[in-house]
Amino acid sequence: MRRQLQTLFQRKFKVSLLFLLLLALLVHLAMDLALPTAHGSCGCDAKAPKASGVPSGNSVLAGPKKLSLRILQDFSGSNGSLEKGSQLQGARLQARDGKPGVRHQRGEGKAGQIEGSKLAALFEHPLYNIPMPEVTEKDKLFVVNPMEKFSLRSSGSDEWEDGLRHLPYLAQIPRRHQPLRAVPPPGPPDAHPPPGLGHAEDCQLGQTRDQETPIDFFYFSDFERHNAEIAAFHLDRILGFRRIPPVSGRLVNITREIRDITTDKKLAKTFFTSPAGNVCFYGECSYYCSTEHALCGKPDRLEGSMAALLPDKTLAKRRSWRSPWRRSYHKSKKAEWELNPNYCAQVRETPPYDRGHRLLDLIDMAVLDFLMGNMDRHHYETFEKFGNDTFLLHLDNGRGFGTHSRDEPSILAPLRQCCSIKKSTYLRLQLLATQPYRLSDLLREALATDPLAPILAEPHLRALDRRLGKVLVTVGRCLAGAARRDEVLVDDVGSWV
């Protein structure tokens, strides 16, 4: 009897133990099913880097700063929970600014796709909303009395009215057909601003949208393209640089808007009618001003790019700087940087590149030029008032977007030789390499609003994505060879990321 009771007790104990184990297993399964939903809203999924395509060695991912993880998780194009986290983060930013948030589309096979404008979503991203210091009086370029300096009646000019009315919405100017200032610049009509109050640029297209610059052309013999000026402005803005004054396309009647109203006799003498019956002119300058290089309308209508007015140099002095990575502009000679792999070490010891962020700004400009294939960056300008604590003006971009089937790696020499780049620039480049914020899609959307659209042929847009990948590969090689990551990624954003 005792043996039977002992056997029965053992059986009941085993059954109870098995029941407890089964219960624990069910509890764990329930927790596993519930946790992804709970963690998804806080943006803590450890798989975010893999889903986003961001390199796994990124120090930002490994760092303890929580906002870095949230920003990089917003790069994801496939993780629904990360998408939800980035949406909540974006909603917080918009709520703070009093703007509605951008909604993201979720559904089968469409996770990470942005509903509505990708461009609007990009500019609402935390990387494009890094807080800026408060602007003080000393930070202003110039301060004048508007009644004394800008009175239209006293000046007898409508230039300031046009410039101030439409900035920064320059795209309104072509649609409203504001009259042009028919005064020639003191150099090539596509390169130098006219004297006086500002800069109004008019570049003719030397090739059709789908043509490429012939491979046998030297970079200094390339065409000047008005559509390149337009595309460069939008690309610069998408990259977060904002150093190109606003540019928009415009269809100009060169008879009514230039020839008939010009007061310059030398310019008027350069107008002629071509054998095809088209009205042409070539202006007066040191280069390319002849009947062989004339600008011709069809029959008198001509596409051009119009840039925003820059302040007159009497109000805001500018200085022109020769780029350290300037090309030789010779058919056979090479520049020093092309022969000396340690050239950047010399640049780092030379003012104004020996302190501040000037060298990093120059590397930003090299990234911009590589993406659009511009080999003609011989000089850049700055405003004198701010000394070395200034920013670069990315002017004269007409020789960009000439080729799409081949890339020019030498343009990236500043990045490759110095192996330094701003952390904010690198993070934005990573963002633009992801599916939701693909660079080609963003520029296509931005250019679609221009009056002369389409501005770029599709092969040029696709080339941007390929070149962006090469920039990230170059930075990756620098990171692989650096002793510390902060030697390559220079922190310019502080605790924000």
Q: Which of 376, 396, 441, 450 is catalytic?
A: 376
Quote the DSSP letter at residue 306. Answer: E
Query: CA end-to-end span of the chain, whole Å?
Result: 75
Phi, psi of 320 (to 5 degrees): -95, 130
Calculated CA dihedral for residues 457, 461, 463, 468, nearest 10 degrees: 160
Give Cα separations from 460 to 218, 275, 405, 437, 456 (angstroms).
20, 34, 8, 17, 6
Residue 383 pairs with which residues in a beta bridge? 318
> Which tokens is 333 given?
């000679």
Helices (H), 243-386: 265-268, 336-339, 343-348, 358-372
Residue 343: φ, ψ to 5°: -60, -35
Distance between CA 437 and CA 113 in Å, rounded? 9
CA-nearest of 69, 440, 15, 472 to 238 is: 440
CA angle 200/203/209 to nearest 5° reads: 140
Q: Is 450 a catalytic residue?
A: no
CA distance 101 to 90: 6
Helix (H/G/I), strand (E/B), else coil: 393: strand
User: What DSSP string describes 315-352?
Assistant: TS-EEEEE-TT----SSS---HHHH-TTHHHHHHTSTT
For 101, the 3-state DSSP assignment is coil
- Tell me the catalytic residues: 376
